[in-house]
């Protein structure tokens, strides 16, 4: 396997829920750490949601693997932030048989 070119600095964020005092909850995103990654654009499409058009772009994000169980290891319920850009993580897989790299399949939605 060729070594990925890590040229993007991404912040891994985790959703944290807290009670809102009215029986519900609020969700805040908490930064867990920084990862240098290779981000590759995959397929994209436009979808309509609640009367608005959204541009949906899928990405393959490759980064160095952290050990299983580490808080710094990405999970599908988390996201990456790159400035104002948000990449929602849908799946995580080991990139190579030695477990050196992870591939995260993520999606970005932008109002069209």
Average pLDDT for runs of 10 along the chain of length 112: 86 91 89 96 86 89 92 94 95 88 93 66
Question: Does the residue 2 lie in any domain?
Answer: no
Are the beta carbons of 36 and 8 closer than 8 angstroms? yes
Question: Does the residue 45 lie in any domain?
Answer: yes
Distances (CA, A) of 68 to 23, 38, 43, 93, 102: 34, 21, 29, 11, 11
Question: Does the residue 3 lie in any domain?
Answer: no
Report the pLDDT value the prediction gives residue 49, as an integer from 0 to 100: 76
CATH number (domain holding residue 106): 2.40.10.270
Report the pLDDT value the prediction gives residue 1, as an integer from 0 to 100: 65
Which residues span the domain enclosing 84? 8-111
Number of domains in the chain: 1
Are the beta carbons of 107 and 52 closer than 8 angstroms? no
| pTM, full prediction | 0.86
d(CA 5, CA 103): 13
Q: What is the DSSP letter of 68?
A: T
Quote the tokens at residue 57.
């772009």
Question: Does the residue 1 lie in any domain?
Answer: no
Report the pLDDT value the prediction gives residue 112, as an integer from 0 to 100: 60
Cα-trace Rg, the chain: 16
Report the pLDDT value the prediction gives residue 53, as an integer from 0 to 100: 84
């Amino acid at each position: 396997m060729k070594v990925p070119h890590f040229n993007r600095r991404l912040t891994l964020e985790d959703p944290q829920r807290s009670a809102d005092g009215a029986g519900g909850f609020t969700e805040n995103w908490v930064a867990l750490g920084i990862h240098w990654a290779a981000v590759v654009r995959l397929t994209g499409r436009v979808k309509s949601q609640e009367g608005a058009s959204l541009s949906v772009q899928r990405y393959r994000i490759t980064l160095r693997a952290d050990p299983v169980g580490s808080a710094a290891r990405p999970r599908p319920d988390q996201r990456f932030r790159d400035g104002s850009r948000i990449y929602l993580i849908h799946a995580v897989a080991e990139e190579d048989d030695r477990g050196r790299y992870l591939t995260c399949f993520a999606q970005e939605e932008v109002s069209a």
